[in-house]
Structure 1
Amino acid sequence: MAEGGNELQLLGTWYSTYAIRAKIALGLKGLSYEYIEQDLFGKSELLLKSNPVYKKVPVLVHRGRPVCESRVILEYIDETWAGASPLLLPSDPHDRATARFWATYFDTTFFPVWRLLMRSTTAEQTAEEFRSVVPQVETLERAFTECSKGKAFFGGDAVGLVDVVVGSFVPWFRAVDEVTGTSLFDEAKFPGLAAWADRFLAVDAVREAMPDAGKLLEHHKGFLAKLASQTG
């Protein structure tokens, strides 16, 4: 392992997709670290000190210096341990720009639309929000074709930045599918993404970083029940 002990710490919450991104990247690079679970409803002094601007997870603390925001953390890990494979960002400038573009698309365009589906509490709302998110999945399917160039991952032969950014949400996608009766990455409609998701989850570093599916499903059901009681 390249790091250990107190040199590398990760502040996160077990269900946070953004903290999962950092866990995956650290695992892919073969880095050991101390994971410190955070309570977002009773934020620790360490979290508030490490991320005084946003007061959110994840935060990577490297030799006492904090790095905040998941995408920033991913690139920091990739650059700091550039000698460890895989590289999350490709060496070719255009390919690197393309990867950053699709990662940004997912966070700023895809996620806000899917989030409405995730928060839907009625059958009518679910149907409406699912119709809205399908065009975004179609775009993501095209992105996979463009980025993968016929290979296994968005990053080509190995997991890359877009794989980690999108893939951190796969357990959540499946939990929401289970609750709503939908199929976001439908195998018949989106064969590229459907097969990619299975391959991604089979990667050792990814599997080790993911939350328990049953626990996540119950967490989501509890969230929806609370949301319904507030809006009902």
Structure 2
Amino acid sequence: MAEEVQVFGYRSGSFSRRIELALKLKGVDYEHIEEDLLNNNKSDLLLKYNPIYKKVPVLVHNGKPISESVVILEYIEETWKHNPIFPEHPYDRAQARFWAKYIDDLVVPAMQKASLSKEEEREKAIEELHNKFEPLENELKNKKFFGGDEMGVVDIVGFVFAGWIPAIEEAVGFKLLNHKFPNLRKWIEEYANHTVAKQILPEKDALVIFIKNVSLKRKY
């Protein structure tokens, strides 16, 4: 019997794209089900499958739902063991989980704050963001990806800024990632040229428009 894999997501957001990227790296076929989150029009199925958080992404595998993006990534790794996205050694796996949590807990909020900052708050907000980027810059070193020569779970979680920063910078009219971060800049370029990742990366012009619309909604 063929497996049924569905991803309830929002393609103008980054968290559900993580799941699509992981599935594509694994070569797993799936159906994407788009949720209208911009208008807060959540489907009954989404609310059924994720009644606690009521948000995307949700992976539904043979009728069984899993929510929260990093939890889903671990489920994907344990279910489809080929083309691993987590390191093999337990210590390295723990480190990968640490950096994934670091991105979600510290980098994402700092990036959102800097992106939406008013002019008088901007310098401080960008400085705070740079403080959060520095450990990632040092961790990346001269590697192609955080996972080494191939994308791993930290790279997948990092989709939240690898795919978004160029469009955010164009939309808001100022830099979030400057010359002090050559490793991260090069990593973003590698991301954009990756055979699989570029299938998932959002179209930049459409994303710029989306970011501007979201910024306007949040300001008023």
Instruction: In structure 1, give the amino acid aligned to 2:69.
Output: S
CA distance in 2 between counterparts of 1:207 and 1:89 reads 21
Instruction: In structure 1, give the amino acid aligned to 2:154.
Output: V
What is the match of residue 133 of structure 1? Answer: 129
Kept in 2: contact 1:110–1:133 (CA 8 A): yes
Divergent runs of 4+, >6 A: none
Per the normalisation by structure 2, the TM-score is 0.93
Per the normalisation by structure 1, the TM-score is 0.88
Q: CA deviation at 1:127?
A: 2.4
Partner of residue 198 from structure 1, selected from 166, 183, 189 = 189
CA distance in 2 between counterparts of 1:94 and 1:102 reads 13
1:163 has 2:151 as partner? no
What is the match of residue 28 of structure 1? Answer: 25
Q: Deviations 1:147-197 (Å, cap 9, x if unpaired)?
A: xxx4311001110010000123223212221133333332x3111111111
Kept in 1: contact 2:171–2:209 (CA 8 A): no
Instruction: In structure 1, give the amino acid aligned to 2:7.
Output: L
What is the match of residue 112 of structure 2? Answer: 115
* Structure 1, unpaired ranges of 5+: none
What is the match of residue 145 of structure 2? Answer: 153
Partner of residue 226 from structure 1, selected from 207, 217, 220 = 217
Partner of residue 209 from structure 1, selected from 197, 200, 206 = 200
What is the match of residue 81 of structure 1? Answer: 80
Instruction: In structure 1, give the amino acid aligned to 2:162.
Output: V
How many residues matched? 217
Percent identity of the aligned residues? 41
What is the match of residue 8 of structure 1? Answer: 5
Q: CA deviation at 1:210?
A: 1.7
CA distance in 1 between counterparts of 2:25 and 2:136 reads 23
1:173 has 2:165 as partner? yes
What is the match of residue 59 of structure 2? Answer: 60
Q: CA deviation at 1:104?
A: 0.7
Instruction: In structure 2, give the amino acid aligned to 1:81.
Output: W
Instruction: In structure 2, give the amino acid aligned to 1:207.
Output: K
Kept in 2: contact 1:48–1:55 (CA 8 A): yes
